[in-house]
Amino acid sequence: SEKRARKHYMEPISLENLRGELEALLQKRGVRGVSIALNGPVSHLDLAVGTSDGFVSLTPRHWMEHASLSKTVASVFATQYFTEKGIALTESVNLLLARTASPFRLRVAEGKMPQAWADSVQLRHLMDHSGLGMHYVHGVPLDTDFPAILSLISGERQDLGYQAIEVSKEPGARFGYSGGGFLVLQHLIEEMEGKAIEVVCRPFLDITGLGDFSFDPKPLPRAEGRYALGFSDAGDVIAPPAGRLAFPAFAAGALGTPRALANFWAELIAAYSDPSAKVPILHATAVAVLRDHVRDLGSVDFMGACMGLGVFVMDAGPNKVAVHQAANEGFRGVYIACFEGPDAGKVMVVLSNGDNNATLLNAEVTRLLLCRWGWQGINISALEAGGDFAFAGIPQEQLVNQAYKALVFSAFEPNRAGCAC
What structural domains and CATH numbers belong to the chain? 2-69+203-411 (3.40.710.10), 72-201 (3.40.710.10)
Q: From edge to edge, which strands make up the β-sheet containing 44-50? A: 44-50, 33-39, 347-352, 331-340, 319-328, 312-316, 306-307
> Does residue 280 have a cis peptide bond before it, meaning omega lies within 30 degrees of 0?
yes
Q: Has residue 170 got a pLDDT over 80?
A: yes
Greatest distance between any 2 Cα atoms in the chain: 64
Taking the C-alpha atoms of residue 216 and residue 249, their distance in angstroms, rounded to an integer, is 7
In 190-330, beta strands by DSSP E: 213-214, 245-246, 255-256, 306-307, 312-316, 319-328
Check if the beta carbon of residue 411 is closer than 8 Å to that of residue 384: no
Q: Hey, is 309 helix, strand or coil?
A: coil
Q: Has residue 325 got a pLDDT over 60?
A: yes
Check if the beta carbon of residue 125 is closer than 8 Å to that of residue 181: yes
Taking the C-alpha atoms of residue 32 and residue 243, their distance in angstroms, rounded to an integer, is 13
Q: Has residue 136 got a pLDDT over 90?
A: no
Task: Using pLDDT thresholds of 50, 70 and 90, give the confidence band for residue 396.
Answer: confident
Q: Which residues contact 47 (CB under 8 A, 6 or more apart)?
A: 15, 16, 18, 19, 22, 35, 36, 60
- For the stretch 271-295, pLDDT in tens is 999 999 999 999 999 999 999 999 9
Q: Has residue 255 got a pLDDT over 60?
A: yes
pLDDT for residue 415:
84
pLDDT for residue 6:
42
Check if the beta carbon of residue 309 is closer than 8 Å to that of residue 124: yes
pLDDT for residue 4:
40
Task: Using pLDDT thresholds of 50, 70 and 90, give the confidence band for residue 262.
Answer: very high
The alpha-carbon radius of gyration of the chain (Å, integer) is 20
Q: Has residue 11 got a pLDDT over 90?
A: no
Please state, for a pLDDT cut of 70, what percent of the chain lies above it. 96
| Ramachandran area for residue 170 (φ above 0: left; ψ -120 to 50: alpha; else beta) | beta
Task: Using pLDDT thresholds of 50, 70 and 90, give the confidence band for residue 392.
Answer: confident
Q: Which residue has the higher pLDDT, 115 or 259?
A: 259
Rounded mean pLDDT of 216-230? Answer: 95
Range of lowest pLDDT (104-113, 187-196, 314-323)? 104-113
Q: Has residue 8 got a pLDDT over 70?
A: no
pLDDT for residue 393:
85
Taking the C-alpha atoms of residue 257 and residue 223, their distance in angstroms, rounded to an integer, is 10
What b/e sequence results for 24-55 when a residue is b if at least 16 CB atoms lie within 10 Å of its CB, and e otherwise?
Answer: ebbeebbbbbbbbbbbbeeeebbbbbbbbbee
Q: Has residue 350 got a pLDDT over 70?
A: yes
Q: Has residue 12 got a pLDDT over 80?
A: no
Closest CA to 389 of 405, 372, 378: 405
Question: How far is residue 392 from each of residues 176, 299, 356, 395, 403, measured CA to CA in Å?
Answer: 22, 22, 12, 8, 12
Rounded mean pLDDT of 342-371? Answer: 96
Q: What is the DSSP string of 10-68?
A: ---S-SGGGHHHHHHHHHHHT-SEEEEEEE-SS-EEEEEEEBSSSSSBP-TT-BEE-GG
Query: What residue type is 267 in one-letter code?
Result: E
Task: Using pLDDT thresholds of 50, 70 and 90, give the confidence band for residue 10.
Answer: low
In 203-330, beta strands by DSSP E: 213-214, 245-246, 255-256, 306-307, 312-316, 319-328
